[in-house]
Amino acid sequence: MLTIKNLHAEINGKEILKGINLEIKAGEVHAIMGPNGSGKSTLSAVLTGNENYKVTEGEVIFKGRNLLEMSVEQRAKEGIFLSFQYPVEIPGVSMINFMKTAINEQRKYRGLPELTASEFLKYTREMKEFVELKDDLANRQVNVGFSGGEKKRNEIFQMAMLRPCLSILDETDSGLDIDALRIVANGVNKLKTPETSCIVITHYQRLLDFIVPDVVHILYNGRIVKTAGKELALELEEKGYGWIKEQMGE
Amino acid sequence: MDIKKKYIDIFESCAEQFRKFDTDFVFAKRNEAFETFKINGLPTAKTENYRNLNVNDIFSTEFGSIMQAKTNIDLNEYFKCEVENMDADVILLSNGKYYDNNKAVDGKIIICSMKEAQQKHREIFEKYYNRSASTFGDGFVNLSTMLADDGLFVYVPKNTHAEKTLQIINLTHGFGNKNIIKRNLIVLDENSSLSVVVCDHTLNSSSNFVIDTTESFVGNGSKLTHYTLQNEPDKSSLVSSHLAEIGENANVESFVLTLHGGIVRNNLRVRLNGEHSDANLLGLYLIDRQQYVDNYTLIEHLVPNCNSNELYKGILDEQARGSFMGKIIVHEGAQKTAAYQTNRNLCLTGDARMTTKPQLEIYADDVQCSHGATVGQLDEEALFYLRQRGISTKEAKLMLMFAFANDILMNMHIEPLKERISNMINSRLRGELSECSNCLLNCEGGNCKA
């Protein structure tokens, strides 16, 4: 699904990613953990095409195609979804209009007919149920006045609506209480299929109790320094990031 | 030639014609205005309220006579407005002249030309005409008193509520560069209501200059809704002034929408003369190319316990330039005033320029007032968020622009109009609304027959 080779990226002339290598197969869940400032969010920004970041070296192949040549929206239409760490409030844009436009643009891209208003509403209702979204977020303006938990649940709702093949969850657990975390994780798990993959970026083991990863990577100082199974997350939780720093000889 | 001298000459050469159809009252007002004009002339770059507008730009064109010929074309046949199907009584003004389309309008309401009103409805006319305009001190408004050829008169009697919206369509058409000068007078007697939608449309491709002054008087317990939709070609110039005098327990909602225009200057003065009245003042300008839009507003709280809420927003693309100058004066003794003013702007390119100057003058101590102005760009983070969901950059920008404009719609109170105006804004932002898209004339390259 996704192959990252020797990826280097910088922002404002400062190199953040210093040679990332990563291989994600269809159906896999990869967790990326690491201390603050290690480059986790930069990686998600680069994968989604954020123009503030400049790729200086390396390549990213997504479903056999060069991802780095694609625009932000094309990547999205190809099936890359980012659950934002800080979802943006967009006053004046309704959730309904936003989702309807997004879905129909994606459907057009895939050669599918646009959903009619009633098909869309029906689908919205189903997806709200699917991710246990009870409150009427859909009638509100995008993220405006949402609590931290609501914002994250809204991200998962959008993920359910758009059905991406590669989801990147950027610190989806931050700001969530344990119940909200469970609902969000349930949503992600229910959306998992053998054809979809997931990158879970997190500081803590806690989220990984609910979304169980196949592989855990530790990102440190712009590089992946350790890769192992889900037990790595537990080890990290116990020993802390100091342990990694020691291992890196710092 | 010197502009001031030119209009002095025009007045002197037209005075005899004016004398023929004017009542003594109106002719006297013209002469008063002429005396003022001889001293003050038109605003210049040194006039504080006009400092962002280069008046000389308007006069780089030679205009035809200010006296407009009566049209012999059946305008009803040709003209169809964007806000069509609106349940409205439609009044056409052809180059500033009242165009009698023989359509029945709500019987109790008087609607006629200014020429007719000064004779037939002399008492009402003389009670109100020029009462507000003469105190405004604006060179163009004064010029309209001096030289107006015709215009529209509307009188809503006591305890009368106009059921239908009154749609006034100002058509500018015909060959040559027109200089159209007109005066309108809207009077709402006590406990009455009226909503007016004024649509400015130009059907020729000439460089026209329209000076349009409206005085409105809103009696005690009355409600006036006044929407102006401006859609003019790039070569046109327009100075549109609305001077409103508000009584007690009255309500006025004003909205000025500029969708296109070469040089557009809007003056709005609202004077709250009676207690417990509300003024809701909205403005939206969506301009591009080399268009220039200038909004000057003056809200005066003369008595206690009134509210005014002003929200003007603008989106400037390409090399468009804009200016907003808004002043609120809370006069001495106008306690418990609540006055809010906001002006927000989006400049989509580095070449677009916006100047904004909010001002508050408060001479009372128990008031709630605020003002604020911003000039910014589209929110990059929001744009990225929308694009990350697969929405194209173009569509995402449109969504954000529409959301920005939507704030104005949220503050509008006439539901059926809101939806139509929303559609107009949407198609304007999409670049689908052209100057001629709203007329049925067979235009080729903008050369209309009318």
Q: Which residues in chain B have Cβ-Cβ distances shorter than 8 Å to A48?
A: 388
Q: Residue B444 falls within a domain, yes or no?
A: no
More confidently predicted of B373 and B102: B373
Domain assignment present for B434: no
- When divided into structural domains, chain A yields a total of 1
* H or E, element range at A236: helix A231-239
Any A CB within 8 A of B384 CB: yes
Q: Quick check: B389 and A48 CB within 8 A?
A: no
CB contact under 8 A, B406 and A92: yes
- pLDDT score at B235: 86
Whether B439 is covered by a domain: the verdict is no
**Could you say which DSSP state residue A175 is in?**
T
| pLDDT for residue A178 is more than 60 | yes
pLDDT for residue B437: 45
Query: What residues make up the domain containing A119?
Result: 2-247
- A200 and A30 Cβ atoms separated by less than 8 Å: yes
Give the count of alpha carbons within 13 A of B41, CB side only: 13
CB-CB under 8 Å, A76 with B395: no
Q: What is the DSSP string of B372-398?
A: EEEEE---HHHHHHHHHTT--HHHHHH
Which domain range does residue B98 map to?
A: 3-429
**What share of chain B has pLDDT > 90, as a percent?**
65
pTM across the whole model: 0.88
- Inter-chain touch B388–A48, beta carbons under 8 Å: yes
pLDDT the model gives residue A163: 94
* Torsions phi, psi for A188 (to 5 deg): -60, -45
Q: What is the CATH number of the domain that holds A237?
A: 3.40.50.300
Report CA-CA distances (Å) from A232 to A25, A37, A205, A240: 19, 20, 9, 11
pLDDT tier, B446 (very low <50, low <70, confident <90, very high otherwise): very low
Q: What are phi and psi of B43, to 5 degrees?
A: -60, 150
Identify the bridge partners of residue B194 per DSSP, sorted by sequence position: B224
Q: Do A93 and B392 touch (CB under 8 A)?
A: no
DSSP SS3 for A82 = strand
Query: For residue B388, what are its two tokens?
Result: 């990350």
Nearest one of B256, B217, B221, B219 to B240, comparing CA atoms? B256
Domain count, chain B: 1
Angle at B290 between CA B289 and CA B292, to 5 degrees: 120
Nearest Cβ partner of B392 from A97, A99, A105? A105
Residue B87 included in any domain: yes
Chain A residues with CB under 8 Å of B385 CB are 84, 87-88, 90, 142
Q: Does B379 touch chain A (CB under 8 A)?
A: yes
Q: Going by C-beta distance under 8 Å and a sequence separation of 6 or more, which residues neighbour residue B426?
A: B402
Residues from chain A that touch B393, judged by Cβ atoms under 8 A, are 71-73
Look-up of token digits 């305890």: B159
Q: What is the pLDDT of residue B436?
A: 41
Report the C-alpha gap between B138 and A250 in whole angstroms: 75
Give per-residue pLDDT as tens, B86-132.
677 888 888 888 887 656 566 789 999 999 999 999 999 999 999 99
Q: Tell me the average pLDDT across A76-102.
A: 94
Q: Is the pLDDT of residue B434 over 60?
A: no
Calpha distance B159→B353 (Å, rounded): 47
> Contact at 8 Å (CB) between B404 and A92?
yes
pLDDT of B447 above 60? no
CA B398 to chain A, closest CA, distance in angstroms equals 11
In a domain, B250, yes or no: yes
Q: Say how far apart CA A189 and CA A198 lie, in whole Å.
A: 10
Residue B359 lies in a domain: yes
Count, residues in chain B:
450
- Express each pLDDT in B148-160 by its tens digit: 989 999 999 999 9
Residues on A contacting B at a C-beta cutoff of 8 Å: 48, 50, 71-73, 76-77, 81-82, 84, 87-88, 90-93, 97-99, 101-102, 105-106, 109, 142, 158, 162
A130 touches A160 (CB < 8 A): yes
pLDDT value for B442? 34
d(CA A34, CA A31): 10
- What are the structure tokens assigned to B358, written together? 């909010």
Q: How many CB atoms lie within 10 A of CB A199?
A: 25
Residues of chain A with C-beta less than 8 angstroms from the C-beta of B389 = 76, 81, 98-99, 102, 158, 162
Q: Is residue B53 part of a domain?
A: yes
Mean pLDDT of chain B: 88
CB contact under 8 A, B389 and A109: no
User: B78 in a domain, yes or no?
Assistant: yes
- The yes-or-no verdict on residue B82 having pLDDT over 60 is no
Q: How many CB atoms lie within 10 A of CB A205?
A: 18
Residues β-bridged to residue A224: A219
H or E element that contains B153: strand B152-156
